A and B are shown apart, each in its own frame.
Chain A
Amino acid sequence: MSAATLDLHQMGVAELGAALHARQTSATEVAQHLLARAHAHSGLGAYLALNEAATLAQAAAADARLSAGERGPLLGVPLAHKDVFVTRDFPTTAGSKMLQGYRSPFDATVVQRLAAAGAVSLGKLNCDEFAMGSGNDQSAYGPAHNPWDRTRVPGGSSGGSAVAVAARLAPAATGTDTGGSIRQPASFCGVTGIKPTYGRCSRYGLVAYASSLDQAGPMARSAHDCALLLSAMAGPDVERDSTSLEQPPEDYSRYLAQQWPGASASRPLQGLRIGLPREFFGPGCASDVLQAVRAALSELERLGATLLDIDLPRTELAIPAYYIIAPAEASSNLSRYDGVRYGHRAAQPSDLLDLYQRSRSEAFGPEVQRRILLGTYVLSHGYYDAYYIKAQQIRRLIAQDFQTAFGQCDLIAGPVAPSVAWAIGAKTADPLAAYLADIYTLPASLAGLPGMSVPAGFGADPLPVGLQLIGNYLSEARLLQVAHQLQLVSDWHTRTPPPFTPCPGSHS
């Protein structure tokens, strides 16, 4: 059996794992195939770095483990990492000129855990600079393009990850989500992505944007694949990340094929109560998005779920609260990029101040500079109480609102974003418009809750729309179960962008 008969790049994580176990293909063969595709589709701007030798060495090691009889769902399966995870085998830039050529002496915990499970690293994926953005148009290395329409943004900040999965350049990718950076690009590109509970995946080795919000998660073609990845990624890392949850690893696929507790085979989600926040279904959301989301919700209803209206009254306040807290933390987190020890250093500095000012002005892009300034301002003497403390109070209230809501329902559903993907450049000059578009993803981020985006069909043009599912703390396995049940009866997640459907080998 060879790649010619197996549609290698059309295979998801679970399928590839099975084929590798059956020795129908090898990790090396899959990696070579996908590296060739990455080169062929470099115009999408998905990858920032490849290292063929390192990838093939990892693949050979996986093949050796397979030959030795070792088995594991990720053994030999290739994937790619968002460029905010530090890696020894590839440079790590965080999409910034500041870290051009930076090579980390260690691997991020998430990278390490996936490697230990036998996953093969294909390379590093494009993203908004330091994960600040929602269109991948803030990358210092150029935009990534939405495979469904190359003139559109793929979303962000994990844009490259969403593009790679949607365009079948990789079966899966890692992403990070601070205010929606996994869910929104997953929604824009029609892939499945989950942001776990804050603290579930170690942040060690994740280039920090906003420490109290940053969370790693997987992006793939299905809930099943995400479950396999997350099972390897999540787990305690208290020796290296003090905010890591002391919760043992778990098998996130354990409920996938099960019915909701007490449900029947014909109505597998019987008993599941899904809360629909009124604030998520208002006039702020585009009608094509609402239509697609409602259609997906109808499917869940057919599976037995009960839909009920709930309130998340402080949803709108999530925007100012987030855009105070995240920039405040970012302004401090990014102070280490000073041109002294690593990263960009201005040429011929006249003195220390000049070294700082020019190094940072030259190497930080406009959105990063904007957020540093914003964060510096809100933390300044005399403003701290009015902005930062107030924002933290709102954050606590938002978390309380969710707990009230979870008294009525098991999970919460709604749109991920108020629109489908916009044209590249449309919001670059209007940051506020981009901030406002984060409204549905920010509340779960501020509360630290797990959230995911599940393909829910198409809106106008036709571009993908994601259904957002938000669960209570550590309910990832249940979120994945519901998403999987939906994917068993729908095919939105299997749709491939038109230019990427041809057979393997024809690298158009």
Chain B
Amino acid sequence: MSAPLVQGYEVVIGFETHAQLATRSKIFSRAPTAFGAEPNTQACAVDLALPGTLPVMNREAVACAIRFGLAVGAHIAPRSVFARKNYFYPDLPKGYQISQYEIPAVQGGSVAFELAGAARTVRLVRAHLEEDAGKSLHQDFHGMSGIDLNRAGTPLLEIVTEPDLRSSAEAVAYAKALHQLVTWIGICDGNMQEGSFRCDANVSVRRPGAPLGTRREIKNLNSFKFMQQAIDYEVRWQIERLQDGYAIEQATVLFDPDSGQTRAMRSKEDAADYRYFPCPDLPPLCIEAQWVEQLRVELPELPRAMAARFVADYGLPEYDAATLTQSPQMAAYFEAVVTAAGKALAKSASNWIMGEVSRRLNAEERDIAQAPVSAAQLAALLTRIGDQTVSNNAAKQVFDELWSNPVVTGSGSATESGHDTAVGTGDLARVDQVIAAKGLKQMNDSGALQAIAEQVLATNVKNVAEYRAGKEKAFNALVGQVMKASQGKADPAGVNALLKQLLGT
């Protein structure tokens, strides 16, 4: 892959991502992990590090790590080890963080993604399990700090890449692909505002062919937008420093979205000695091959594989396939529509989901799982467009009605039979009812349509004359008039043909 150079420098980026695992309880205690509770109400004796408390591994957190490892084709270590990372901080109750250090549970693997239509791959070094710290609150405490330990002990999977990324755009594309993957396999809710998915970017620059430059680590990037801005700023800053004759010093930096700049938090000189050693409270984590195999079987089809299948099986354009596999819910919705409406309507289903459905969901900030129009209802609507009961245009009015006044129709006798469609009778009945109530039934009566067309030609002499003189636009005006006169119930293609026939062209 050819790297785009920035002022003659190659950009080198590696990522460390903390994905908060979607377990009900904490990694080493039974306290709940729910976000947004009153401070210190979700911390038990273990999380508070009261004397005599001990950690006990949450099996579900391990299952999440295994699922991730399987999804990225990594080696799942049959034996991994938890260590203690020792440092003092008020929101670190034990005075150490339990984290996998020398032997992580997930080793190697890679994440594939696309950038501007080209396939890219980032190699992973590892993914290890660890606990989160609490939160220090510096506001509202009159010069003192408040400590909220609700987050302490929340399970994290830290996912570390090789320095394989070569631009901020590539970095963001990777982060989005990783985000999609961890939410897709259900190990992380992906909520970046709440800190469920936090990225650290290690950025350095070098002349092409030169050894790796000194890196600076941008901490806690919690939006894709800031990620790109921060990396771009950092790259410019490093190049300027080098061009001014300075060396880059290893440092940890923070991105300030207000100023658009990165600033150093600490330099290498004050790097702590964490005195890592194996945690004596936790025996090595042993993962049996049988468990891995079980999770492998249960792993859902991954987004890229699913997108490829959508292209192959349904003939969708790659863009559609990629869009529909943004979330498992959307993909499932699409597949449910196609299953009910038939493969022949797959592209139509894709258009509707990416169009009307997404537009309404976005406007109402809803998830597709809460769409008032069920996949079965949409399939029923597509069926009625397909059999020309209603025009595509008029169907939008039907859709709006279905959306705004949802009626649970149930699937009725939605039995799949051969290549026939399997739309439920209840859903069809509901759609038909709306079509009838709104009088949107497409005009398939050629006699009535012909009468309207002749009437339009008779009253729009000027347009007819212009059309005959060679102005295509005039023809469109005539079609519009017919459509209007039919109250949108006519099939536009049919109108076209009819007019041309009547005009003798």
Contact = CB atoms under 8 A, between A and B. Distances in A.
Interface in A238-256: 238-243
A380 B280 contact: no
B439 interface: no
Specify the main secondary structure of chain B where it touches its partner: loop
Given A105-B45, A335-B94, A335-B95, A240 B56 contact: yes
A153 interface: no
Given A92-B51, A239-B56, A335 B280 contact: no
A420 interface: no
Contacts of B90: 338, 340, 352
A379 interface: yes
B288 interface: no
Contacts of B54: 203-204, 208, 240-243
B315 interface: no
Interface in B253-280: 273, 275-277, 280
B57 A242 contact: yes
Interface in B225-283: 273, 275-277, 280-283
Given A335-B95, A338-B95, A341-B93, A211 B51 contact: no
B281 A204 contact: no
A203 B49 CA distance: 14
A268 B56 CA distance: 44
Given A242-B57, A335-B86, A102 B283 contact: no
Q: Indicate the size class of the contact surface on chain A.
A: 35 or more
A206 interface: yes
Interface in B76-130: 84, 86, 88, 90, 93-96
Interface string B373-396: 000000000000000000000000
Query: Which of B50, B52, B90, B96 lies at the interface centre, i.e. has the most chain A CB atoms within 10 A of its CB?
Result: B52
B147 interface: yes
Q: Indicate the size class of the contact surface on chain B.
A: 20 to 34
A105 B51 CA distance: 10
A207 B93 CA distance: 15
A380 B51 CA distance: 25
Interface string B35-51: 00000000001001111
A381 B276 CA distance: 9
Contacts of B50: 86, 104-105, 342
Contact of A376 (B48, B275, B281): B275
A94 B56 CA distance: 23
A329 B280 contact: yes
B53 interface: yes
A254 B51 CA distance: 35
A99 B50 CA distance: 11
B88 A356 contact: yes
Contacts of A92: 51-52
A108 B52 contact: yes
A207 B49 CA distance: 11
Contacts of B84: 332
A413 to B, nearest CB: 29
Contacts of A380: 273, 275
A340 B144 CA distance: 12
Interface in A70-113: 85-86, 92, 94, 99, 102, 104-106, 108
Contacts of B93: 336, 340-341
Contact of B51 (A94, A239, A241, A328): A94
Specify the main secondary structure of chain A where it touches its partner: loop
A212 interface: yes
Contacts, number: 99
Contact of A205 (B52, B55, B86, B96): B52
Interface in B177-229: none
A435 interface: no
A422 interface: no
A341 B48 contact: yes
Given A211-B280, A336-B95, A242 B88 contact: no
B129 to A, nearest CB: 14
Contacts of A280: none
Nearest to A203: B54
Query: Which of B49, B50, B57 lies at the interface centre, i.e. has the most chain A CB atoms within 10 A of its CB?
Result: B50
A384 interface: yes
A203 B56 CA distance: 12
Nearest to B272: A381
Interface in A200-246: 203-208, 210-212, 238-243
B58 to A, nearest CB: 11
B56 A211 contact: no
Contacts of A335: 86, 88, 94-96
Contacts of B147: 340-341
A379 B56 contact: no
Interface string A177-188: 000000000000
A342 to B, nearest CB: 7
A335 B283 CA distance: 21
Nearest to A109: B52
B28 to A, nearest CB: 9
Interface in A361-379: 376, 379
Nearest to A98: B51
B335 to A, nearest CB: 41
Contacts of A204: 52-54
A492 interface: no
A393 to B, nearest CB: 14
A462 to B, nearest CB: 39
Contacts of A384: 275-277
B332 to A, nearest CB: 37
Nearest to A204: B54
Contact of B49 (A104, A336, A356, A379): A336
Contacts of B273: 380-381
Contact of B277 (A203, A241, A336, A379): A379
A48 B308 CA distance: 72
Contacts of A102: 51
A243 B283 contact: yes
Contacts of B53: 204
A299 B147 CA distance: 62
B86 A99 contact: no
A208 B52 contact: yes
Interface string A319-347: 00000000011011011101011100000
A377 to B, nearest CB: 10
A260 interface: no
B282 A336 contact: no
A105 B283 CA distance: 27
Contact of A212 (B49, B57, B275, B280): B280
Contacts of B281: 208, 211, 242-243
Given A341-B147, A379-B277, 6 more contacts: A208-B281, A332-B84, A332-B96, A334-B95, A336-B49, A384-B277
Interface of B: 45, 48-57, 84, 86, 88, 90, 93-96, 147, 273, 275-277, 280-283
14 contacts: A106-B45, A203-B52, A204-B53, A207-B52, A210-B280, A212-B280, A242-B282, A242-B283, A340-B93, A341-B147, A352-B90, A379-B277, A381-B275, A384-B277
